[in-house]
Amino acid sequence: MTSARTIRFGAFLALALAGVAVVVFWDAPVIADLRSLAERENIERLVARAGAWGPAVIVLAMIVAVVASPIPSAPIAMAAGAAYGHVYGTMLVVAGAETGALIAFALARFLGRETIRRWLGDGVERGLVGSQNALTLAVFLSRLMPFVSFDIVSYAAGLSAIHFWRFAVATLAGIVPASFVLSHLGTAAMSGGDPMAWVIAALGLVTGLPLIWAVLRRRRG
């Protein structure tokens, strides 16, 4: 048991140090090169070169973008739409984002939860708790809001008491609308259209509806 805890602590510490290093060296040439790989034009070229492996490239890129926080996922989703259209592009983005979210959740739960509990005591769980329904709803609503960090929510959920299957379902239900919007934006950009008004309206709808619903629910309560 002691050795297992030591391994978990070491892995958690290494992950934390890696995150700090990325923040400190954000503008370093190596990190800048990694960020440039996530630019839509570069992804589109990579997908074109991959040929039949293009869908796998999109899914893998989304997984890496979700698990590795500094890499943006929006350009990847747009590239998926540009390369494969609305429906198939959305399916690829959802598959990658869901898989990445589950990996981030599992990493946080395996590496972080027990370590944090040992550091701060069992009382720390009170700050991460709530009923299973409340936690599920929180994850779902966060997935509908494009300004809420996707990866941070995944890692934070892993530290909470939410059940794995609830997190998976809430994430899947929440990421479909945003994934479709970004894929549509990429498709429209390739067709030469001007999708910005539609995209802004869609993002406003996706973001506003859950907020309105939450306010009304609180007033009724």
User: What confidence tens digit (pLDDT) does each residue in 2-53 have?
Assistant: 455 555 555 555 555 455 444 444 444 444 444 454 455 666 666 667 678 8
Average pLDDT over residues 198-209: 50
For residue range 73-126, what is the model confidence (pLDDT) as tens digits? 777 887 788 778 878 889 999 999 999 999 989 988 887 666 545 544 554 455
Alpha helices by DSSP H, the chain: 2-24, 29-37, 40-50, 54-67, 74-107, 113-120, 132-144, 150-159, 164-191, 196-220
Q: What is the pLDDT of residue 114?
A: 64
Full-model pTM: 0.64
In whole angstroms, what is the distance from residue 107 CA to residue 78 CA? 27
Best CA proximity match to 150, nearest among 182, 174, 183: 174
